[in-house]
A and B are shown apart, each in its own frame.
Chain A
Amino acid sequence: MFVQKGKSFGFILIFVLILLLLAVLPFFVDLFYQTFLTELFVWILFAISFDLIFGYTGLLSFGQALFFGLGGYTVTILIRKFGLNTELSLLLSIVIPILFAWFVGFFSVRLTGIHFVIITIIFAIIGNVIGDTWTSLTGGADGLTFSPPPFRLGLFQIDLMDIKGNYYFVLTIVAISFLFLRRMIQSPLGKVFISIRENDERARLIGYNVQRYKLIAFMIAGGLSGLAGGLYSLTLKYASAGYLHWSVSGHAVVYTIVGGMGTLMGPALGVGIVMSLEHYLINFLQATDLVVGIALVFMVLVAPKGLVGLIQSRFKKGETSA
């Protein structure tokens, strides 16, 4: 109990510290790093939304790019073609993917294991094919650009064309989402998710409507993936059918597993390490894929439970020896 409270306090302390650090960073680092970090935050949101269904609920969906792309296009098309404001477009970039997640999930959660994986992939491919060929709506692989108006909340306003403004905007939303997810994981709902991951047969026998809970998790993850996509479009002022490609889902899978699934911090760490590695490497070579590929193999062999798992086992070692 004391340990539990201690853990909670520890987490809050660390979270606040990191947040403060990130908040003051723009005054010390140049514009490029601010944009790099902004992108990092977006991918962190995408990765933790994936962690919700994979790390915590045990459903491997290789099709999250569908919701990411939907969110991105919702924002882009609503602002560009319909002149909607940024606040409403961003809100809809959560709502519309949730609706699609409801539809896809409705069918998908009936299946388990590898069949769930494949069916989510197939839905994502369908989305990708439509995105690629319905060029009058989506601009296809070339994509669409747009200029988002400032984000307004009451009297408060942020100009997204300004790099610093964009940075704080994305940081705030991702931080709130992170806290939201963490709260949910710790709530009874989250505990049901975890029990489904551990043994969904047993969860069913206890009396939980497993499929309904899987669907809920899928919808929440879809909504957050959509939000990530919406933020990505707002940051780049651009969306393309490439957002719907399975390799985007693949990124979430890699970041989460490398960082440590089922930990929320893990995927965030994974995003940081892999993206930083990639960006660092391009200064020296063009063949970054080769190094990243090899690095992935090593990272996952050395730390099968992810980097968070590695750190945790270090701490545990420390405890037992003390």
Chain B
Amino acid sequence: MEKKSKKKAEVVLKKEISRRDFIKTTALGAAGLSLSSWAPVPFTYGAQPPIKVGMLNEYTVFATEYGYWLGKVGRAAIAKINAEGGIAGRKLELHEYDTKANPAWSASMCRKMILEDKVDLIMGSIHSGVHLACFPLIKQYKIPLFSGGSMTYEFTGKDSLSLHGGYYIRNHSHARSQAVAAWKFGFDNLGKKWTFLNADYAWGHSLAREFGSRVRAAGGKTQDIFAPPTTQDFIPFLQKVNPDTEVLFTAFLGSSGLGVLRQTVEVGLHKRLQRFTVICTTEGIGQEVVGKESIGAYYIEYHPRHLDQLPKELHPYEIAYRKAGGVDKDGKEVGNPKVTIAGSHMYSMWIYPYMIKLGIEQSGWKDSKKNMDLIKAICSLKLKAGPWCPVGDLVMREEDHQGFNDFYISRVEPDLKLKILEIIPKEKSMYEPETDLRKIV
């Protein structure tokens, strides 16, 4: 049994474990159902039942480069935990589903995971809409949801209780912590007059608001230009950039992210202003794909893409982590140099299983009756750099279930490498919590 599960990429997928009910429709109009019998979960006699972990990621439609890496790292992390003996003598069993970047579909998958697969926990996805659509479910069934990488800061803000009842945990950064950490670098080093050319939806709006408000509060000047998220022709927007703008902050994903970066250079704007953006815009995309146009652009990274840019003391952990994920020292997939990692996002999935392990061991969690105790234990963790935490120290905050680790400012060098200019310690990113989830019973 052990060998078999190890062979299948060391993850036991749902199809191996139980036969799903076969759904047939009757020939007479509205769908009927026929059920086939369940096969019991195969585990060795006498062993404890596995801990079921649901994983939701964007594997098709949109943001697939994120889903690919979050899924890969998530699977590797769970395999490693299982190889090291599981948690409290129990194996982790993974149930993976595609969000299709579609919140309504994801809510369906969430229901499937909770009601049919009977998962104990869910992790993954970078799509805020997906998480939002799942909130009613995790709140009702009290299932912890560990965010893969959604950047809407409100999810751990003042509405936390009404949104998800405290069942949402986020160990990675978001628009506000990014802004709090990095706005000053831009303001001091790049310029005081900013233009935000962002995607016209929540993520683009919040980045413009979080960075912009701080720039203005310090006496700077800002301009907002919002373009549709899938814009292909940026010239109409680029020409609106104020003549005296010193910093152009762009926030788009996928091919639009590439488009805005390249077209900024094509129209020559890079000669009179600095380009500043979050790494999200080209995660999973190599700088060689962005092209020589990206030279001189500044990025905010949450974990360096290049191994040698990381502080020396973290190297042994990072090397082991990259090995498990099949990644080389420059953030390319081993054996597949055209594939670049989503390095600033995927680490969240590596760390969660470890956090869950610590939380279960500390709280003595056995089943869903004590999910909130488990969450509280997890959210009080102060992780130290180690094989399970290659990003350096990571602190969780009990008040809002939010995690913090160091930030990096990098610049694209002539050889297209992302070189770290400054490390911003996590303390600088810790804004005041807007809620207090400690009071939940």
Contacts and interface: CB of A to CB of B under 8 A. Distances in A.
A140 B59 contact: no
Nearest to A290: B60
Nearest to B95: A283
B104 interface: yes
Contact of B133 (A37, A41, A236): A236
Contacts of A268: 29-31
Given A35-B111, A142-B201, A284-B15, A29 B103 contact: no
Contact of B202 (A33, A135, A287): A135
A276 B25 contact: yes
A135 B98 contact: no
B236 interface: no
Interface in A24-43: 25, 28-33, 35-37, 39-41
A165 interface: no
Nearest to A247: B102
A132 interface: yes
B205 A135 contact: yes
A32 B97 CA distance: 15
Contacts of A140: 201-202
B25 A272 contact: yes
Interface string A271-303: 111011001101110111100000000000000
Interface in B136-189: 136, 140, 152, 163
A118 interface: no
B202 A32 contact: no
B29 A142 contact: no
Contact of A44 (B30, B33, B59): B30
A203 to B, nearest CB: 29
B104 A161 contact: no
Interface string B19-38: 01111111111111101000
A238 to B, nearest CB: 5
Nearest to A289: B60
B59 A240 contact: no
A236 B107 contact: yes
Contacts of A32: 111-112, 115-116
A39 B136 CA distance: 16
Given A238-B133, A238-B136, A242-B103, A139 B202 contact: yes
A265 B33 contact: no
A145 to B, nearest CB: 5
Nearest to A272: B31
Given A276-B24, A280-B22, A240 B31 contact: no
Contacts of B112: 32, 36, 279
Interface in A215-247: 232, 236-238, 240, 242-243
A255 to B, nearest CB: 11
A33 B25 contact: no
A238 B107 contact: yes
Contacts of A21: 32
Nearest to B19: A283
A45 to B, nearest CB: 11
Interface residues of A, number: 57
Interface of A: 14-15, 18, 21-22, 25, 28-33, 35-37, 39-41, 44, 129, 132-133, 135, 139-145, 147, 161, 232, 236-238, 240, 242-243, 265, 268-269, 271-273, 275-276, 279-280, 282-284, 286-289, 311
Contact of B136 (A41, A145, A275, A283): A145
B136 A240 contact: no
B108 interface: yes
A31 B20 contact: no
Given A29-B35, A238-B136, A286-B59, A143 B103 contact: yes
Q: Which 4 A-B pairs have the closest CB atoms?
A: A272-B31, A272-B25, A32-B115, A32-B116
Given A29-B33, A135-B201, A142 B128 contact: yes
A296 to B, nearest CB: 16
Residue among A21, A142, A147, A288 having the largest count of chain B Cβ atoms under 10 Å? A142
Contacts of A132: 200-201, 228-229
Contacts of B103: 141-143, 238, 240, 242
B221 interface: no
Given A240-B133, A282-B98, A141 B22 contact: no
A69 B366 CA distance: 42
B202 A142 contact: yes
Given A271-B31, A286-B60, A143 B23 contact: no
B315 interface: no
A5 B15 CA distance: 49
Contact of A243 (B22, B32, B104, B128): B104
A161 to B, nearest CB: 7
A39 B24 CA distance: 16
B296 interface: no
Contact of B102 (A29, A30, A242): A242
